[in-house]
Each structure stands twice: as C-alpha cells, then as structure tokens.
Structure 1
Amino acid sequence: MQWLPYSYVRLLAALVLGILWQYFFPTPQNIFIVWVIVASFIYGLSPWYVPSHKRHQAQLWLGLLGLSVFMGVGAVRCYQTVARNHPSHFVHQPTDSLRAYVVRITDEVQAKSSYWQTIAEVRALRYPDGWHRCHGKILLRIAYTDSLPEPSSAPLVGDELIIKGIYSPIDEAKNPHSFDYQAYLWHKGIYCQQYVQPQHIGIIARQTLPWWQQASLQIRHYCQIQLHTYLPEAEALGIASALVLGVKTNLDTETSQTYAQAGLMHILAVSGLHLGLVAGLVSLMLKPLRRWRYGVWVYSLLVIMVLWGYAFLTGASASVLRAATMFSLILLGQALTRQTNIYNIIAASAFILLLYNPMLLFSLGFQLSYLAVIGIIYLYPKIYGIFSIPNPYLDKAWQLSAVSISAQLATFPLGLYYFHQFPNYFLLSNLMVLPVVPFILGGGILLLLLSPFPYLAVWLGWLLSQTIVWMGILVRWLTSLPYASTQGIYLNGWELCFLYGMLLGVLLLLAQRRFVYVWLCVGMVTAWSSSRIYYQYQLRSQRLMTVYYLPKNPHLQLLQGQKAQVLLPNKLSAVQSADYQFALGGHHTALGLQVCHFERQKIRPGSLAFELVFWQGQRIALVSGAVSPAFWELCGEAGVSVFILQNNAVRSLKPLADKLPRQAQYVVDASNYTKTTQKLKQDAAELGLQWHDVRSQGAWLWRF
C-alpha cells in the first residue's frame, strides 16, 4: 500500500499517539509546547539548511519530525481538555468552609425514580470572606418535592441556581468488572456530585442561555411533546424518541436488552445511519438547486446546515458528530470539484473531532462508529463481489447482508470486549428490521412536521405506532429463537488486540499475498490461543471468597472453579433484582461462572444472630445480630479467620477490645449504615485490627 495519498491518516495516527501518551503517562504540557515550537521551527527551516541533493535522503526524518509536532499537539490538547488541570477548577478549592455555590444547568434534566438528574456548570463558590469565581461541571440530583412531580416543576436548562451544601467526589466502581461510572464521567469533565433537597435550592435566573442554544432546546422540547401526544404506545414512544431525537429516557431496560441481543442496538441510537437517511432526503429535495450557476454551493451549504442542525437537535453524540463531519467534508469537496480520498475524509473528520475534544477517543460510540464505517468502506466491495445475483430484489438483500457482515467483522471484537455477548442471528435481524428503519425515521420526521394539523398527525401517529410495535414483536421473536445470542464471553485487553491483529493480518494477506503476513497471522493466533488456554486454566483452579458492594443486601459468595455458592438472607429479592445483575454480571462473566447456587442464610430475626461457615479449611462468621462478648472469645478459640459484620449488628468495637481475635480479618459489608461503618472503622484503626470497609473500599476478595 502506498502511504503518500493518505496524509490525514498519518496526521491522525500522530495525534492519537500524543493523546494516548498524555492520558496514560501524564506529562506537564509545557514540555510538549516547547517541543512543538522547536520541532516546527526546525522543520520550517529545513529548506534552508538541507541541501537540495540530500532532501530525498532526509525526507523520512523530516516526515517523522513533522509528525512529532502533531503528536505534541495531541498531548497538549489532551492536557487542556482534562478540566481538573486548570487551576480555576472548583475541585482545587477547599470544602470545609463552603457555604453555597452557584451553578447554571447546561444539560437536559432527566426524571429518575425519586429525583431530577442533570449536569450543571459551577460558576462561583461562597465562603465566609465572599464569593470566589470558578468553573467546572457537576452532577446534580435534585430530590422531588412530591412523590409524582409534574414535568413543569422540573428545573430547566439554562436556569441559574444557588445551592446550599457541600459536593462530594464521584465514587469509583465498587465491584470488580462493573461499569466504571467514575471514568465515564471523568471523560466528560465531571468529578463531583451532590444530592440536593428542594429546600436547599434557590433560583437566581431563568434560562440564561444564548439565543441559538435556547432555540435548539425549545425545538427539541416541542418535538418531544408532539411524540408524547401522538404516540400512545409506550414502546412506540420510547423507540421513536430514541430513533428520531436521540432521547432514551422513554426507553425501558427490557427493550434495550432485547434489541442488543438481536444485534440491533445501533438503530436505537442516532448515528451515521440516521444522519445518512436525513442527508439523502434533504439532498433529494434540494437537488434542483445544483442546476444553477452557484447552485452547488447553495445546495452544499444548505445540506450541511440541516445536517448539523439535526446533529445538535439529537444531542450531538460521537457517532453523529463523525457522520456530520464526514458528510460536510464530502460536500465541500464536491463543491470545490476536487477528487477526494474516502480514507482521508474519515481520518480528517476524526482529526477535527479529536482536536476539539481528545476525550472522544475513549468514547465507545466514537470507537464503534469509526470501526464500522471503515469496515463497510473496505470490506463491503470485497464481500459483495463474492456473489453476482441477477435478481434485483435478491441483489438488494445481498447488498444489505454484505453491509451487515462488513460492519460486524470490524466491530465484533470490541462488542465482545464491552458487552460479553454476540448476536448469532445479526444477519437475519438486520435483513428483516433495517429496511423498516427509514420508514420509521421518515414517518417520525413527517409526524413532527404535520403536528400543527392534529387530524393528519393522529392518523400518522397511529400508523407509526403500529409499525414500531410490530417491529418490536419481530425483534422479540428473533431473540426467542434457540441460540439467539452467545452470552458470557470474556476478553481481556490483550486478547482484544490479538483479535484485531488476526483480522488485520488476514486482510493484509488477502490484499498483498506476502508471506510475512502469514507469520503475523500465526503469531496473533498463537498469542490469542495461549492467552485463552491460560485463562481457562485459571478458571478451573480458582478459589475465591467475595463480599460485593450490594447496599441493603448482606451476602457471601464462595467460588471454587466455575461454581459458586452464594449465601443471602433473602434469596428472591436479591437474585431477581436488576441491580444485582448489573453490579455483579461483569465479574461473574470474568470468573467464567457456570453454576451459581443460592442459599438462604440460617440467620433469622429473633433467632440466630450469627452463622458459622466452613469452607476450604477456613472458618467464617456471619454476624447479623446482637451477640454476647463471649461469642468473640469462642470464635477466637475456634480459629475463625474472617468476621463479616452485617445489618448494623455491631455498632462499636471498643467495649469488645479484650475479646476480639486480633489475627482475624473484619469485613463490614454495605448493609451497615454509613455512620456505623465510620465508627467501626475508627475503632478498628485504634485497636490495630485488619479491616475492610466495603462501602468505601469496594468489594472484598480473598483468593486462596
């Protein structure tokens, strides 16, 4: 492959390398700023100090020097994007004497089970000596005044509020392999949160936003109201809101999981597919403009304006920004009558977005979006060319199948890494459902346009609702088929790299047919297989005792091989809880758990206050109620090695100082109150006991 035509690909690679360096190896930005200036100066003066007859020999080194400039730019932009690196950020200010602070709501306000949730920009902090200006984002959860509040009572985007109280840092993930909400928010520049009672909030000003942002929010709000009005079915409303407006608050968890298992989650997130349909519709409507003298420019600018307007209306996700940037570059290239290289356009769009916000590189939507489009552009012609089908209808079906296979090949390793499942019938589901999506998207947009005419809107809303409901029935039927999806697939980071290495090696081998790529494929397969063999060996030999972070749910998990025994006080409520599966599902997948046997603890209110468990030669005491001081002495004589304190059974350790076994491990699970945990932690530190607080330190694991 000749790299000369792919200039933006090289620049993007250098920029990404700089971002990754700064992210994993934080370095003062001044070092990179100096390097960018010096390297740019050396590169710029090269025509004067490099003789003309030696420029060809120096081309490689000058090229690397130029790329190092963009690597430095990537590192500097990454440093500048991390909000806490700025001295004026509010996280650098003390909170011990903080009385109040002023924020402006900058994100959509979402209704949760018992509170409003939104993101706000901190503008000033109130201390005894006055106000101090600052900046930074904060996650706010505002408790409802009533149990079922009216939507009109919600705070609005742009409202300026004064809040009394002290914010706290975002907690890290408490259970291994669970969703890291802290990292997710950190990438968005959010490091603190506060749960606020209504009486601690005062409104200073209403909707203090620029006119264009205010207009965008009003249009978005109007569109949501119209969908609520004309789509009576809850399922239809949720899917239409997600597909047309990018609003997922009306989408229930069961529907999301069903579409994910069918390999159709991409249609519920506004992405390049949806933006492409909008672009095609607008292009068709404005096509006559291209006949004018300057019509190409007018046509291109209007399409770009509509695309970016729709992108911001739907929330400007990473995949939408990618598609909007790519379409804009293609249209500008056509207006300038310049021949464009599609890979340069892809790289240029990624370069622009990462230059603006380097944290997009770590967004799953950004990664999947670019991998899918690269896979489609490169693999689709090759896969489609395998068969030549004369029947036009079957040929259209094969085209859609080739697109689905291309996107799946490019993204399935990342899907396995993040979601631990593979939709076995992805080809069938995409072939049956994707043709319906343009009609739903077009129908949703037409419904919004016809909303001033209620009679027409009611009939169109009914037709759209029925279409979505029947599509949901079809998706649920697909997921009910035997072996609809393969669950519980675990990949570590290295195995993800090996899989992509195998894929790259096969593609290079087919394209260039050089023997060196055979060795690349063999090396990647060997590395991946070795990693999987070692992983399976670990699974069969593992022995692990775990107390997870599960508020209000005392428990103990004992794992041997790939079989676990879980002791719970109330088996049904904990096991059937979606929160339980969300909290532990990732770790259970990583452990290769095949059998999980749940048992009720023998502890019952009014009867036994403790239970002794014998496992792997160890004695574990579950203490869930009041016990006599003699209990601790007897446990010490019996050789109990672990005490798990539950349900505020022990509120102070000092009265038991001479009774407690000093060599034992004490674990306080998340069923205890925060105040009780803090008191016990203080006592344990004074007594020199081995202590683990699950509420603050996360899950406790003991490997044998």
Structure 2
Amino acid sequence: MTVLPFVRAVAGLAAGILLYIWLPDQYWLPAVLAVVGSVLIGWLLVRNAFRQAGVVLGVALTGLLMALGWGVTWLHTARNDADNLIHLSDTLRAYEGVVTAQPEERAKTYRVELAVTQGRWGPTADWQPLSGRVIVYLDKTAGILPRYGEVWLVNGAPRLIDPPFNPGEFDYKTYLSRRNIYHQQYLRPWQRRVLGVDPPNRLTATAIRVNQWADSVLTRQIGTRAEYGIVNAMILGVRDDLDSDQYRAYATAGAVHILSVSGLHVGILFFVLTWLIGITAGKRDDRVWLIALQLAVLWFYALMTGFSLPVLRSAAMFSMLLLAKALQRRAPTGHSLSVALFFMLLYDPYALFSAGLQLSSLAVLGIGMWQSPLYQSLTFRYGWANKLWQITAVALVAQLVTFPLGVYYFHQFPTYFLLANPVVMVLSMALLPLAMATLAFSWMPYLNDALGWGVQKTAWLLNEAVSWTGQLPGAAWDNLWLSPVELVLIYAVILLGATLLLSRNQNWLWPLSATTLVLVVLMLVSDTDQLGQRRLAVHFLPHRTAVSVTTGKRSRLLTDLDTTDQRSYDFYLKNTFGSWGIANPEWVDIRHASLNSADKPAVVYRRDYSLLVWQGRSVLLVNRLSDYHRWRLPAVVDYLIIRRNALRDWNQLANRVVARHIIFDDSSRTPLTDQLLADAKKRHIACHSVRQMGAYVSEF
C-alpha cells in the first residue's frame, strides 16, 4: 500500500470528526454520507469497475469515512449518554465515584478525576445509576495523596465548569469537555469517604505502579531537586517538581517540548537502541530477538509514561517500522504516521484537538519530508561537523513546521532555538538512555550509583545550557498572536516555499507571492486596528477587582491583585491583553491609586470609593456604602462598579449616585450578587455581572 491511501483515510476520518463538532445534532448527515458511499460502492461492484473508477471510488470511501468519523465521535461523547450527570435536573445530594487517573498534587489541593457510578437525588433520594466525570479539588488537610482506583462517597453536588469569562482567555471548559468532563467540585475532607479500592482498568493500574516505582528509583539516585524535576518531567511526564522559573527558562530557550513526554522521547530511545544494537549485532540487527527487545523497551516506556497520546502515536509508528524490518518490507515515515493516527482517532476522536499530538505529528511529518534534502544540501570535511549539522537540520525542520502552531497556542517564539536545540538534543540523547539504564539496573548497587551519578550530571548540564540560553538578550518574542486564517496562510507560505525550493519550478513563485501578500495585508490591518483601539474593560478575576483602560497598545490595569500572584494574571488576563496587542500593561493598585497626567486616567481615591476620569468618561468604583458616612456625587457617572459587597440593597444607592452603566465585579460574594441581579430584573434596572455574563468591555 502506498502512502496516499491512509493519508486520505485520516483526512476523511478527521473531516467526519470536525463535522460532528460543527453539527452534532444533524443525525441525517452521517446517514446520507453512509448511504451515498454504500450505493456508489455497490454500483462499482455490480459493474466490476473498480480499476477505472478512481474519482467515484474516492468519493464513496470519503463519504463512508466521514460517516465513520461522525459516528465514533458521537459514541465517544459522554453527554450523549442518557444517564450522564449533565442531564440531571434535580439537585444531587450525594454520589459515588472511582478515581480514574493518577491524582496530581497542587499547592493547596489534590486534583482528582472521579468517574461517577451512582447518585442520590429527588424526593426519594434512592441510589440510582449515574455516569459522568468530575474534576475534584480535595483540600490537602485530607492527608495523603489519593490513589488510583479509590471508591469515594461524596456529599454535595458538583457544578458545571465555567466558560472563559475574559476575551482570549484559555477555554478550560472546552478543553475538559473533549475529555468528557463537564463538572468540577471543591471538597473539604469531611465531604468524602473512601469506601475501598477498585481500579477500573488493570493496565492503567499497572502503568501507575510502574511509574511510582520508577519515581522512587530516580528520587533515590538523583537527589538534587532541580535535576530530579527535569528527569521526572522527561522520563515520567510528571511536572510537579518543576518550579515556574525553571519551566520559563525552557520555554524561552525553545526547549519546553523536552519537558513533555512525547514522540521525541520515543524517537530518541528508538534511535539510541538501534545504534547500540547495530554496534553489538553488526549487520544482523534484523534478527527477531533484537526487534522484540526494541519493541519491549519502547512499550515499557509507553507504559511507564501512562500511555500519553504522543507517546502512543510514536510507539505505534516505530513498532510498524520494526515489524516491517522483521518482514523485510519498506515502511515509509508518512505511511507509518498516517496508520498510527488513523487507529488513534478511531480509539479517541478528540485526540484530533490535542496540541501535543498535532505538534509531534507535524514535526515527524516535516522531518520525514524535508530533513534529508536540507541535510544533503551542506557537507563538511569533518565527521563531527556533519553529525552536528544533521542534528541541527532536524531541529531546524521541526521548528519550521511547528512554529506557527506553537505561536497560535502559546503566543511566543524562541529566538535562539537554533542555538539551544542541538545542545538539548545531544544531552537528551544521553539523558534518556542513562535514565532507562538506571531503572533497568536498579538492583545492582555500584552500577546503579554510577548510572544515577551520570543522570544527575547530565541533567545539571542540560539545565545550565538552557538557563544560559534563556538569559541571552531578546531570548524570546512574546505576545505573538495569530488568527486561524493567519495560521492557515503561514502554513501555505511554508508549503509553497518548500515546494519552490525542492522542485526549482518558478511557477510556484506566483502563488507563494500572492499568499504572502495576503498574509502581510491581514497583519497590517490587525496592527492598525490595535493602534486605534480605545476601551474600558471590567475583567473577571476570581474574588478580585480588575479594571483596565486601553489606548492604542498601552493599557493600565487597576486592580487589587497582588503583583506576586503572577499565576492568576497569566491564566485570566494575560491572553486578553495579548489579543489586544499589549505585552505588559501597567499595574496600578486600586486600593491607594494616585495618577494624574495628561495621558493617564485621573484617579481620586477615598475609603468608600475611587473615582477616575479617562477619555471624558467617569468611572466610580464603590468600596462601601455606609449609613454613617452618606457621601453623594452631584453628577451622573458613566460607569458604576460595585465591589467588596458594598451594595446589599438597591435602596442604598438612592440619593447617592446616578449611573448610566452598573457593573458587578467578582470581589463580591456570588449569592449576594445573584440576589441583587434578581431584584434588579424586577425593578427594571440594567446591570452587568462579570461572574454571570463575562467581562464588560466598552469600546470608544
């Protein structure tokens, strides 16, 4: 079979998956596609015209594959189950669930994924079958980290996961819904009881035990936390021991992919094993027992990492290469990749939206297509220089094909990736086999100590190299944003440019130039719009106040958020300002603000309120409405922002202030705000709550 058939199969299956995402309720669509495809296949069978029916056969198979993609996605979507928690209309009093993934340790909580099995609700409160998954945040005062397979009895009802409330904010709700998780709950220790242990999947339980054993060996042998954190992330896929500065250094150096177990790690392991076997076995490296050894090591590594999607894809792909070698057949990279992706999408259609899988698949495809021509374009006199150029060519091609998607998802580009990646690749090719050897010989005291020392020193050298690269001036371009249209155009430019260089056919120059021109025009229009923007925004920030005023590409954020709480800012607000073309807004502490200049909002701070005037608009932030201090504003204000539970009854505003727009931020208690909104509806008072309606944005 050639490469093209399975590439077309993956494309047809992916089209069916996307069709379900866009039109999930149109059940007639897959039926029509399946009927049309079947009729065309039957017609070709009757006429015995398969050899001459290229287009007709292609249309028929595409229709069947799209119907298949729509169908498997429908089957894989938990909300289509009648007994799913999302369909429950009554209040859930209690439920029983089992821990279905390895719990994660956070700063103050344990993050646990529960699969619900039954629940109690309604007037009778009898136990009834129930399904669904819930993300539970268990207070750390509960004690030790929960275990996979624990069966819990939980009191109370989970709530639906919130959608993004701020423009550009990461859509955590959609991300979890693609894992069939629609609810979350915060638990105090007394709200749950462990009934027993019943692992739902024995293979997953085995993988977790192997992971924990490997963690104990590496912890004992490495010792130092910084080096252990890197090895733990690279080998086991656990980032709990990485601090934020360490992670940021790898991201700045363009080496953050090393910290996520992926196809790169499987590829390194595969090529190192092939090299070692080639040295020991000579030309007879296609013997069955040698191939079986490679397969065993690859799938043991996949088991140890918990069968993450990129690792599964890569392990399946390299397994096909090994089996082809055993059968003395040729297995092209594109063919192996497309076969692996096809069966992965059948197993989990939502894997199509995994950023890690997309990036690793693109990297493999790009390296398979373009690394060899690029490497052969230069030749050096010395062998070590050719080896370095070979690694550099791999890094260059991988970065070229993945950087648009990386910018789209992560909004930055590492300037010195070409400097850092060859070093990172070489050290990773040493670190990964050393770590695996440390695990394999953990029972041999002196050899294990020597291997552990090698792992620790290699990890230290890797950290130092990445840290040095990240400290260079201009190490990363931040605040880069691409629209979906711009993303597609950039990939079109890359594909057309590569085709022009490889084919040397000047006819490709015209579509390349036209596509580049359209891309540049779109970016210029977007940049011009950002230069002319004027807006006031009241952002959603949990239990905090966040008000921004934006002029062009400059913005000032008036907030009571502590400047040390970078994590909250990054999650809730960074993407908002980034989408507006603002890299670093100026922070102003609203609790004692004092700004007065021509281009800044004039702020008057009082204990009961803060008043700012900007662009001819007045904004009043009310902190307290006291009966002992009945202040009054003589003029109408444009925007009235209620914060810190200041308003408890609408009558408190009488004879104090009149406002054109009334906004509740999230610094007030949610039940109080909900009650005020209900009263406002009865009184016909127009108001806005960022908790219920999302961020309030006013364009000038």
Same fold (TM over 0.5): yes
Q: How many Å apart are 1:534 and its aligned residue? A: 0.8
Q: How many Å apart are 1:412 and its aligned residue? A: 0.9
5 Å-filtered alignment, 1:249-260, equals: 249-260=240-251
Q: Aligned partner of 1:92: which letter?
A: H
Cα distance change on mapping 1:46 and 1:251 into 2, 3 Å: same
Q: Secondary structure at the match of 1:443?
A: helix
Q: C-alpha offsets along residues 322-365 of structure 1, whole Å, 9 cap, x if unaligned? A: 21111122222223333333222221111111111111111100
Which of 526, 529, 533 is residue 542 of structure 1 equivalent to? 533
- Cα RMSD between the aligned structures? 2.8
Q: Does 2:488 correspond to 1:504?
A: no
Cα distance change on mapping 1:594 and 1:204 into 2, 3 Å: closer
- Structure 1 contact 29–75 (Cα < 8 Å) conserved: no
Cα distance change on mapping 1:398 and 1:563 into 2, 3 Å: same
Q: C-alpha offsets along residues 513-550 of structure 1, whole Å, 9 cap, x if unaligned? A: 55553332122112211111111111111001111122
Q: How many Å apart are 1:122 and its aligned residue? A: 0.9
Which of 132, 136, 147 is residue 132 of structure 2 equivalent to? 136
Q: Secondary structure at the match of 1:161?
A: strand
Q: How many Å apart are 1:670 and its aligned residue? A: 1.5
Q: Aligned partner of 2:644: which letter?
A: N
Which of 678, 682, 687 is residue 678 of structure 2 equivalent to? 682
- Structure 1 contact 122–135 (Cα < 8 Å) conserved: yes
Cα distance change on mapping 1:229 and 1:126 into 2, 3 Å: same
Cα distance change on mapping 1:536 and 1:509 into 2, 3 Å: same
Q: Does 2:262 correspond to 1:246?
A: no
Which of 432, 435, 438 is residue 426 of structure 2 equivalent to? 435
Aligned residues: 688
Q: Does 2:220 correspond to 1:268?
A: no
Partner residue in 2 for 1:672: 668
Which whole-Å CA distance do the structure 1 matches of 2:375 and 2:173 have between them? 43
Which whole-Å CA distance do the structure 2 matches of 1:653 and 1:454 have between them? 74
- Structure 2 contact 96–152 (Cα < 8 Å) conserved: yes
- Seq. identity, %: 29
- Structure 1 contact 289–295 (Cα < 8 Å) conserved: no
Q: Aligned partner of 1:653: which letter?
A: W
Q: Secondary structure at the match of 2:624?
A: coil
- Structure 2 contact 479–583 (Cα < 8 Å) conserved: no
Partner residue in 2 for 1:616: 615
Partner residue in 2 for 1:108: 102
Q: C-alpha offsets along residues 111-145 of structure 1, whole Å, 9 cap, x if unaligned? A: 11222111121111123352222322211111123
Q: Secondary structure at the match of 2:666?
A: coil
Q: How many Å apart are 1:289 and its aligned residue? A: 12
Q: C-alpha offsets along residues 19-55 of structure 1, whole Å, 9 cap, x if unaligned? A: 11111222444641453255224304413236x5xx6
Partner residue in 2 for 1:698: 694
Partner residue in 2 for 1:488: 479
Partner residue in 1 for 2:81: 86
Partner residue in 2 for 1:60: 55
Point out the more displaced range, 648-657 or 637-646: 648-657
Q: C-alpha offsets along residues 657-687 of structure 1, whole Å, 9 cap, x if unaligned? A: 67663x6211111111222222222222222
Cα distance change on mapping 1:423 and 1:307 into 2, 3 Å: same
- Structure 1 contact 289–298 (Cα < 8 Å) conserved: no
Q: C-alpha offsets along residues 215-256 of structure 1, whole Å, 9 cap, x if unaligned? A: 322221111122222222111111111111111222222211
Cα distance change on mapping 1:439 and 1:475 into 2, 3 Å: same
- Structure 1 contact 242–268 (Cα < 8 Å) conserved: yes
- Structure 1 contact 245–313 (Cα < 8 Å) conserved: yes
Partner residue in 2 for 1:592: 581
5 Å-filtered alignment, 1:94-243, equals: 94-96=89-91, 98-127=92-121, 128-145=124-141, 149=143, 153-243=144-234
Q: Does 2:40 correspond to 1:42?
A: yes
Partner residue in 2 for 1:601: 590
Which whole-Å CA distance do the structure 1 matches of 2:591 and 2:204 have between them? 59
Q: How many Å apart are 1:631 and its aligned residue? A: 6.7
Q: Aligned partner of 2:62: which letter?
A: L
Point out the more displaced range, 110-119 or 465-474: 465-474
- Structure 1 contact 116–154 (Cα < 8 Å) conserved: yes
Gaps of 5+ in 1: none
Q: Secondary structure at the match of 1:638?
A: coil
Q: Secondary structure at the match of 2:563?
A: helix
Q: Aligned partner of 1:376: which letter?
A: I
Q: C-alpha offsets along residues 574-596 of structure 1, whole Å, 9 cap, x if unaligned? A: 36633223322212221112563
Q: How many Å apart are 1:459 and its aligned residue? A: 4.6
Cα distance change on mapping 1:574 and 1:492 into 2, 3 Å: same
Cα distance change on mapping 1:453 and 1:5 into 2, 3 Å: closer
Which whole-Å CA distance do the structure 2 matches of 1:532 and 1:297 have between them? 55
Q: Secondary structure at the match of 1:400?
A: helix
Partner residue in 2 for 1:528: 519
Q: Does 2:14 correspond to 1:12?
A: no
Q: Aligned partner of 1:601: which letter?
A: I
5 Å-filtered alignment, 1:452-471, equals: 452-454=443-445, 456-471=447-462
Which of 286, 293, 306 is residue 297 of structure 2 equivalent to? 306
Cα distance change on mapping 1:332 and 1:40 into 2, 3 Å: farther
Which whole-Å CA distance do the structure 2 matches of 1:656 and 1:49 have between them? 82
Q: Aligned partner of 1:361: which letter?
A: L
Q: C-alpha offsets along residues 143-182 of structure 1, whole Å, 9 cap, x if unaligned? A: 1236xx4xxx222101111111101111112222122211
- Structure 1 contact 322–369 (Cα < 8 Å) conserved: no
Q: Aligned partner of 2:63: which letter?
A: S
Cα distance change on mapping 1:387 and 1:321 into 2, 3 Å: same
Q: Does 2:328 correspond to 1:337?
A: yes
Gaps of 5+ in 2: 594-603
Q: How many Å apart are 1:655 and its aligned residue? A: 4.7
Q: Secondary structure at the match of 1:60?
A: helix
Which of 477, 502, 509 is residue 518 of structure 1 equivalent to? 509
Which whole-Å CA distance do the structure 2 matches of 1:536 and 1:593 have between them? 11
Which whole-Å CA distance do the structure 2 matches of 1:696 and 1:287 have between them? 63
- Structure 1 contact 29–79 (Cα < 8 Å) conserved: no
Point out the more displaced range, 77-86 or 300-309: 300-309
Superposition TM-score, scaled by structure 2 size: 0.92
Q: Aligned partner of 2:623: which letter?
A: S
Q: Secondary structure at the match of 1:482?
A: coil
Point out the more displaced range, 129-138 or 205-214: 205-214
Q: Secondary structure at the match of 1:559?
A: strand
Q: How many Å apart are 1:395 and its aligned residue? A: 0.7
Q: Secondary structure at the match of 1:61?
A: helix
Cα distance change on mapping 1:19 and 1:516 into 2, 3 Å: farther
Q: How many Å apart are 1:69 and its aligned residue? A: 1.0
Which whole-Å CA distance do the structure 2 matches of 1:228 and 1:421 have between them? 33
Q: How many Å apart are 1:498 and its aligned residue? A: 0.8
Which whole-Å CA distance do the structure 2 matches of 1:383 and 1:292 have between them? 28
Q: Secondary structure at the match of 2:373?
A: helix
Q: Does 2:620 correspond to 1:640?
A: no
Which whole-Å CA distance do the structure 2 matches of 1:396 and 1:61 have between them? 48
Which whole-Å CA distance do the structure 1 matches of 2:224 and 2:581 have between them? 39
Which whole-Å CA distance do the structure 2 matches of 1:288 and 1:615 have between them? 73
Which whole-Å CA distance do the structure 1 matches of 2:448 and 2:125 have between them? 58
Q: Secondary structure at the match of 2:588?
A: strand
Cα distance change on mapping 1:287 and 1:566 into 2, 3 Å: closer
Partner residue in 2 for 1:574: 563
- Structure 1 contact 630–659 (Cα < 8 Å) conserved: no
Which whole-Å CA distance do the structure 2 matches of 1:179 and 1:403 have between them? 31
- Structure 2 contact 117–129 (Cα < 8 Å) conserved: yes
Superposition TM-score, scaled by structure 1 size: 0.91
